[in-house]
Chain A
Amino acid sequence: MKKILFIEDESALQKALGDVLSQEGYKMISALDGKIGMRLAKTENPDLILLDLILPRMLGLDVLKSLKKDSETKWIPVIVLTNREDLEMIEQAMTLGASSYLIKANYSLEELLKKIKQKFQEE
């Protein structure tokens, strides 16, 4: 079973995506802030990370930077999932090694699910 770590401080989003992913046969691990996200990325060894950028305790871009520096986590694909659409942020995230940059408000759960499946097929 593929494991997906969702680092997102909105618990409503965690719940909605968690329910749909579990129905599709994925295991979702939730982290409500950046630091917990970093810890879970190391201990749980997920196959994919969905990362919000505006997070408590540790910002998403810092999480991404640390993930890509760490030899244990640098291979894990990271999809940035945020509502921030600033060009500067998109460029920074992609330079730091994000696989995709998605705007949450523009994606339905179904479309996100498709993206996740597509990501696993690419590997």
Chain B
Amino acid sequence: MSLKNIFAQLNIFSQCKQYHLPLWQCPQFLFVVMGLMICFISIGTFTIGTRLVNDPAIVALIVLFTSALFIVIAFLIINSFERLAEANRMKSEFVGIVSHQLRSPLSNLNWALDALMSGKLGLAKEKQIEYLTILRQNTNRMKELISDLIIVSRIQNATLPIKKEMFSLEKEVKTLMDRFQPFADASNVKLEIHSEKQVPLVFGDIKQIKQVIENLLDNAIRYTKGKGTIKIEIKKHGKNVRCEVADNGVGIPKSDQKFIFQKFFRSKNVLRHETQGSGLGLFIAKSIIERSGGKIGFNSTEGKGTVFWFTLPIKS
């Protein structure tokens, strides 16, 4: 092993980076902390031992035994942490690789469907178009899921690029509302927007923030069953702009609320209403908003509705 490699092994920060974990969860950092603790414990045992026991040989034995015991305990703890961190890293890598690999057959399917549905290769019969449309809807679902998995993998590996610029949140929300209007109409849901006059521009990655709004709007429409109204409010809030998406839908049960931003989590009552969904949308939304320097949260009552809100900074 070269000197460079030895130094690289000793560099806790670069070792911790590979796990994409905060320092206090990183096995190498914990190893150093445990080492320091063992030193203090040994010194403490020695100090107390010399006061209580007269024979220096017995004191030495007690110190030796205590230190050895703590070294074994520390080794076991660190080893378990390292295994967990490694498993977590491999899981993220696996998700990333599989999602990329799934894109190739999906492109084949999509392009073949495009060619068949374009009418350029001859017109399909009505019944055939029905089935081709089913195939198209399902490849689109797969595409969205793969895209979400790739984003999650990038968030966890800290490789999701962020391109911040000033933009009007109100304008983007209105554009997305127009896009969601047919879905809202089909679900018998009314979309309303209330915005303060002259809301300042916000600073963030437009593409990513649009994805957050899309996720919130999609959830709000999806889980507002029957006649409902979704009210979107945009206003200045201190040094931020605050956007609220309020629905009168199924709401989130109290027991599920603490898990709502966890990835793959889907509330029990939501599963009764809508089986589709990956449980990644809100995890992605939270990660994006927090990376943009904002905050995200919600208030919800089961059976009455939910208000999701997020803030974005005004200035860079």
A residues with CB within 8 A of B: 10, 12-13, 15-17, 19-20, 23-24, 83-87, 103-106, 108-110
Q: Are A23 and B108 in contact (CB under 8 A)?
A: no
B164: Cβ under 8 A from any A Cβ: no
Residues on the B chain within 8 Å of A17, using CB: 111
What is the bound-complex CA distance between A16 and B117, given in angstroms? 11
Residues on the B chain within 8 Å of A12, using CB: 108, 111-112
Question: A108 with B110: in contact, given A20-B115, A23-B120 (CB under 8 Å)?
Answer: yes
Chain A binding surface, main DSSP class: helix
B107: Cβ under 8 A from any A Cβ: yes
A105's nearest neighbour on chain B, judged by CB, is B103
What is the bound-complex CA distance between A103 and B110, given in angstroms? 13
Residues on the B chain within 8 Å of A103, using CB: 103
Chain B binding surface, main DSSP class: helix
Residues on the B chain within 8 Å of A19, using CB: 115, 120-121
Which B140-162 residues have C-beta < 8 A from chain A?
A: 143, 146-147, 150, 159, 161
A104's nearest neighbour on chain B, judged by CB, is B107
A83's nearest neighbour on chain B, judged by CB, is B103
Q: Are B118 and A109 in contact (CB under 8 A)?
A: yes
Which B87-142 residues have C-beta < 8 A from chain A?
A: 100, 103-104, 106-108, 110-112, 114-115, 118, 120-121
Residues on the A chain within 8 Å of B112, using CB: 12, 15-16
Contact pick for A16, options B104, B115, B159, CB 8 Å: B115
Interface residue tally on B, bucketed by range:
20 to 34
Min CB distance B214 to A, Å, is: 15
Q: Are B114 and A20 in contact (CB under 8 A)?
A: yes
Residues on the A chain within 8 Å of B121, using CB: 19, 23
Q: Are A105 and B118 in contact (CB under 8 A)?
A: no
A84's nearest neighbour on chain B, judged by CB, is B100
Residues on the A chain within 8 Å of B159, using CB: 86-87
Question: A16 with B120: in contact, given A83-B100, A105-B103, A105-B146 (CB under 8 Å)?
Answer: no
What is the bound-complex CA distance between A87 and B121, given in angstroms? 37
Residues on the A chain within 8 Å of B108, using CB: 10, 12-13, 16
Q: Are B115 and A105 in contact (CB under 8 A)?
A: no
The 9 A-B pairs of least Cβ separation, nearest first, read: A109-B114, A16-B111, A83-B103, A12-B108, A23-B120, A105-B103, A104-B107, A16-B115, A108-B114
Q: Are A109 and B107 in contact (CB under 8 A)?
A: no
Q: Are A105 and B120 in contact (CB under 8 A)?
A: no
Q: Are B118 and A110 in contact (CB under 8 A)?
A: yes
Residues on the B chain within 8 Å of A108, using CB: 110-111, 114
Residues on the A chain within 8 Å of B106, using CB: 105
Question: A10 with B114: in contact, given A85-B150, A105-B146 (CB under 8 Å)?
Answer: no
Residues on the A chain within 8 Å of B150, using CB: 85
B139's nearest neighbour on chain A, judged by CB, is A105
Contact pick for B161, options A15, A23, A87, A106, CB 8 Å: A87
Residues on the B chain within 8 Å of A16, using CB: 108, 111-112, 114-115
B142's nearest neighbour on chain A, judged by CB, is A105
A103's nearest neighbour on chain B, judged by CB, is B103
Q: Are A10 and B107 in contact (CB under 8 A)?
A: yes
What is the bound-complex CA distance between A23 and B122, given in angstroms? 11
Question: A20 with B118: in contact, given A12-B112, A85-B150 (CB under 8 Å)?
Answer: yes
Residues on the A chain within 8 Å of B110, using CB: 105, 108
Residues on the A chain within 8 Å of B120, using CB: 19-20, 23-24
B136's nearest neighbour on chain A, judged by CB, is A108
A24's nearest neighbour on chain B, judged by CB, is B120
A108's nearest neighbour on chain B, judged by CB, is B114
What is the bound-complex CA distance between A106 and B225, given in angstroms? 31
Interface centre among B107, B118, B120, B143 (most CB of A within 10 A): B107
What is the bound-complex CA distance between A13 and B115, given in angstroms? 10
Min CB distance B125 to A, Å, is: 19
What is the bound-complex CA distance between A87 and B103, given in angstroms? 17
- 9 A-B pairs (CB sep. < 8 Å): A20-B115, A83-B104, A83-B107, A84-B100, A87-B161, A104-B103, A105-B103, A105-B106, A106-B143
What is the bound-complex CA distance between A2 and B96, given in angstroms? 38
